[in-house]
């Protein structure tokens, strides 16, 4: 391999991807393993951890998995301690775990609001706080946050999620500002609309077999007229975790098929026969 390309290797690194039993977290972890990293992950319950372990074993990846709720600091600290004891110091943290509640704001309860903020914003704070001391001591580290189109745009029914993802953009910038001096880079991935279980409700066929209105809408806002696949994000995830991105800090890198650059077209002008359809069985 040319010396330059070695900058994209994660050989010997310990990578922690939160909430990585399926979806984008699983895709990031697979990409990291294939780039040489040791994978550690958590999820919210043992069934999900077991599901994740089975997925990794199916791919020949020896992962370390444990139940850990990212909103509970004691569980997070116990997780980091267990990883340091069994695998090694964490070099890469991907704050991937997240939830969304699609509820009109005036109908959303404070508890529902707090649930989203706690997972999507406080969780990354807790997990980053847990790994930073060892990264400072080591003199290097990578923290990658899961931002979103909702870090820049609003839309109906996702007030808590947008507030959390907007806050996560600023947390990304603040970790960069406070810890860049220790050769720690904190950036964010800003995916567009990706086919995963989290967005499956937005693609459900209507009772008459027609497309979900949101499916047609988001394709009209995407130049490629398709949903993203988890594979579309793997290259950026590896890049931001590798030495190749050591002079990038505090950035949200949008990987959205062009949504944020395009005013969009009339959804009625779309020709569904041209769509490269999502195989929902792959959107796991
Ligand atoms: P997903 O399919 O909902 O997966 C999220 C994972 O996080 C699930 O395994 C989930 O477990 C876990 N999780 C939830 N709460 C947790 C907690 N308190 N502690 C530990 N794990 C927890 O989401 P995704 O589509 O893969 O997205 C992953 C991340 O990217 C999220 O932060 C999301 O906001 C962000 N994102 C997604 C898209 C997209 O279009 N899919 C676009 C932009 C950004 P459960 O099954 O129990 O919920
Ligand atoms: C929604 C979607 C989005 C995606 C993603 C877009 O309801 O609008 O769930 O929020 O999850 O965040 O980047």
Return the best residue to mutate from 29, 98, 149 for the ligand 1 pocket (most ligand atoms within 8 A of CB). 98
pLDDT in tens, 92-147: 999 999 999 999 999 999 999 999 999 999 999 999 999 999 999 999 999 999 99
pLDDT in tens, 24-58: 999 999 999 999 999 999 999 999 999 999 999 99
Please report which confidence band the pLDDT of residue 270 belongs to, taking 50, 70 and 90 as the band edges: very high
The active-site residue, picked from 28, 56, 161, 193, is 161
Mean pLDDT calculated for residue range 203-207: 95
Distance in angstroms (rounded) separating the CA atoms of residues 156 and 116: 16
Domains and CATH numbers, the chain: 3-196+228-259 (3.40.50.720)
Copy the structure tokens of residue 157. Answer: 């029914």
Q: How many CB atoms lie within 10 A of CB 144?
A: 26
Q: Report residue 100 as tokens.
A: 């969304």
Decide which of 282 and 42 is more confident. 42
Q: Is 159 in the pocket of ligand 2 (CB under 6 A)?
A: no
Tell me the ligand closest to 195's alpha carbon: 1
Contact by Cβ (8 Å): 72, 122: no
Whose C-alpha lies nearest to ligand 1, atom 12? Answer: 19
> Does the C-beta of 191 come closer than 6 Å to ligand 2?
yes
Q: Please give the distance, rounded to the nearest whole angstrom, from the Cα atom of residue 102 to the centre of ligand 2.
A: 10
State pTM to two decimals: 0.97
Residue 273 to residues 79, 161, 205, 215, 223: CA-CA distances in angstroms?
48, 33, 16, 14, 16
Given this model, what pLDDT does residue 110 score? 98
- The span from the CA of 167 to the CA of 223, in Å, is 28
pLDDT at 154: 98
Mutate to test the pocket of ligand 1, among 17, 18, 19 (most ligand atoms within 8 A of CB): 19
Catalytic residue status for 22: no
């Amino acid at each position: 391999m040319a010396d330059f390309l070695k900058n994209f290797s994660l050989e010997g690194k310990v990578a922690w991807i939160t909430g990585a039993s399926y979806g984008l977290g699983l895709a990031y972890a697979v990409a990291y393993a294939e780039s040489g990293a040791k994978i550690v992950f958590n999820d919210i319950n043992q069934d999900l951890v077991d599901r994740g372990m089975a997925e990794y074993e199916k791919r020949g990846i020896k992962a370390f998995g444990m139940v850990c709720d990212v909103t509970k600091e004691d569980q997070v600290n116990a997780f980091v301690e267990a990883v340091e004891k069994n695998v090694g110091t964490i070099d890469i943290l991907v704050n991937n775990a997240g939830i969304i509640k699609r509820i009109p704001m005036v109908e959303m309860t404070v508890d529902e609001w707090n649930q989203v903020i706690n997972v999507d914003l406080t969780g990354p704070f807790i997990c980053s706080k847990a790994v930073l001391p060892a990264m400072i001591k080591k003199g290097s580290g990578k923290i990658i946050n899961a931002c979103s189109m909702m870090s820049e745009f609003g839309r109906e029914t996702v007030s808590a999620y947008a507030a959390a993802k907007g806050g996560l953009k600023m947390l990304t910038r603040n970790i960069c500002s406070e810890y860049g001096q220790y050769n720690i880079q904190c950036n964010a991935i800003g995916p567009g609309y990706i086919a995963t279980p989290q967005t499956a409700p937005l693609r459900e066929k209507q009772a008459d077999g027609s497309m979900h209105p949101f499916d047609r809408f988001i394709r009209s806002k995407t130049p490629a007229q398709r949903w993203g696949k988890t594979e579309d994000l793997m290259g950026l995830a590896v890049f931001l975790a590798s030495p190749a991105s050591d002079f990038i800090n505090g950035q949200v890198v949008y990987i959205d098929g062009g949504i944020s650059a395009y005013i969009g077209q009339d959804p009625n002008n779309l020709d569904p026969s041209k769509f490269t359809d999502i195989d929902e069985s792959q959107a796991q």
